[in-house]
Amino acid sequence: MQAGIAHIKKELAGIYPAAEINAMSSLVLQHLKSYNRTQILLARNEILSDIERKKLEEMTARLKKQEPIQYILGETEFFGLKFFCRPGVLIPRPETEELIDWILKETFAPEIRILDIGTGTGCIPVSLKKHLPTARVSACDISETCLQLARENAMLNQTEVSFFRMNILQPGSNANCQQYDVLVSNPPYIRESEKTRMQANVLDYEPATALFVPDNNPLLFYRAILLFAKQSLTPKGRVYWEINEAMAPECAQLLHDFGYVNIEFRKDIHDKDRMISAQKP
Of 38, 72, 37, 79, nearest in space to 55 by CA: 72
Sheet holding 261-267, edge to edge: 162-165, 136-141, 113-117, 180-185, 233-242, 273-279, 261-267
Alpha-carbon distance of 3 to 246, in angstroms, equals 45
- DSSP, collapsed to helix, strand or coil, labels residue 80 as coil
Alpha-carbon distance of 116 to 123, in angstroms, equals 10
Specify the pTM.
0.94
Residue 241's pLDDT is: 98
8 A C-beta contact, residue 82 and residue 156: yes
8 A C-beta contact, residue 137 and residue 162: yes
Residue 176's pLDDT is: 66
Alpha-carbon distance of 149 to 168, in angstroms, equals 19
Report CA 198 to chain centroid distance, whole Å.
17
Q: What is the DSSP letter of 3?
A: H
Task: Please give the span between the terminal C-alpha atoms of the chain, in angstroms, as a whole number.
Answer: 60
Residue 88's pLDDT is: 96
Q: Decide the pairing of beta strands 190-191 and 212-213.
A: parallel
8 A C-beta contact, residue 275 and residue 247: no
8 A C-beta contact, residue 190 and residue 198: yes
- DSSP, collapsed to helix, strand or coil, labels residue 116 as strand
Q: What is the mean pLDDT of each run of 10 residues along the chain (281 residues)?
A: 94 95 95 90 89 96 97 97 97 96 94 97 98 97 97 98 95 73 98 92 94 97 96 97 97 98 95 97 94
CA distances from 247 to 29, 30, 81, 210 (A): 40, 39, 30, 17
Residue at 205: amino acid letter: Y
